[in-house]
Structure 1
Amino acid sequence: MPITIDGITPSAEIRAQLAAEGKPVLLGFSRGKDSLAAWLAMQEAGIEVIPYHLYLVPDLKFVEDSLKFYEDFFHTPIINLPHPTLYRWLNAFLFQPPERLAIIEAAQFPEPTYEELADALREDLDMPEAWNADGVRAADSPNRRMAMVTHGPIREHLKKVSIVWDWRIADVRDSLKRHNCPLPPEYEWFGRSFDGIDFRFLDPIRQHAPADYQRILDWFPLADLEVFRRGLTG
């Protein structure tokens, strides 16, 4: 049963309104449970979904295989773009050896915001007024609930909408079960979708997907020290 917050439109009504508009909606698709639930909810409402994924490290096989699976599952291509965090990590010289610093600095990588990425997608797809949906849920944390109370699930000036904002985790699980939609494999490795290159993610990837771990080291050579340091400190 979804939660209710006084004065905020239930997500089912929001989805019905978007369906009535009859226009495609962008979806930031992390491959995580909430973005899967958002996609399934929009699909049930009859909304055409244009999903886009933002990769943290290029060409990780477990990520690419997962994207291909969901493209087949939903019969929909997924746009795959660099995550703003990738540029931020590089510009901050995260896990970079000294000989790479001047090269990275000379590259002058941009650091686009999420809104700028969405606008670029709208322009590329010739959909200037397209809504950009996410799977953010108020019940996920006190901070997200407060943000929902303060800003609401619909931000008109950004054309941003939290499409399942009032769903509880039980609603998410029920939707995944009802549609027989599996989670990506890394949920068995670290309990969530891939979201960083700290020890929580690096060590399970090292154990379960060693070729992908090496790919991470190709981009961030000193990330190996994170695993080594944690091993020393327990």
Structure 2
Amino acid sequence: MKLSTADLLRAGKSERMRESARAHMADAVAASVLGAAGASAGAGAAAAMSAKTLLTAKAWLVLAMGVVLVGSFAGWRAWTSGPSASALAPSTAVAPLPSSSARSLRVPPPGPLPDASATAVANKPRLDAAPSGRAENETESLIHARERLRAGAPTEALALLAVHSRKFPHGFLVEEARVLRIQALASTDPAKARREAAAFLREFPSSPYRANVTRMTTP
């Protein structure tokens, strides 16, 4: 089959347009994967995973585009390998299509992965964000109350727990403080201990201390 110069130019232009469309498709799909990964994960860790997902998605897309281009180039060679193709003048030769390696260079590189330490700092819970000295003081306060309770001095333990609750009204050991108070009340005022135990179980239905609280206040 004899091809005119116009036919060859149109075919080359069409192939270049398809290649450009594939490049845009690769970027669009990779961006979509990045967005989906960012929406499904946590904020700081999702950023690192999204960047990694972007690299993986683009790598697979470039590989797939390379296979398509190689197949397209083979078809183009078979289409133009007829006897009449060799008779074409050198000035009408169509430039070869870019190889898959050249195609991979067209994919814009993703941005740098976020620093792991920066991500960890950004994702720390408010508990860790609080001054470590305050957490240590709260822990020591409860240890002192527990020691007095174990020493057989529930009244002193209750006094220490009262100071603790005023000093740390929104501490991270609220449940532990309540349990110690219920245990101390069980020795000094069983009726009040049962009332506070019932309130505790309502407020913390999934508490790991649920069984202990129930056992301490059961006659």
TM over 0.5: no
Rg larger in structure: 2
Which has the larger helix fraction?
2
The TM tier, using the shorter chain, reads under 0.3
Structure 1-normalised TM-score?
0.18
Structure 2-normalised TM-score?
0.19
Higher relative contact order (CA 8 A, sep 6+): 1
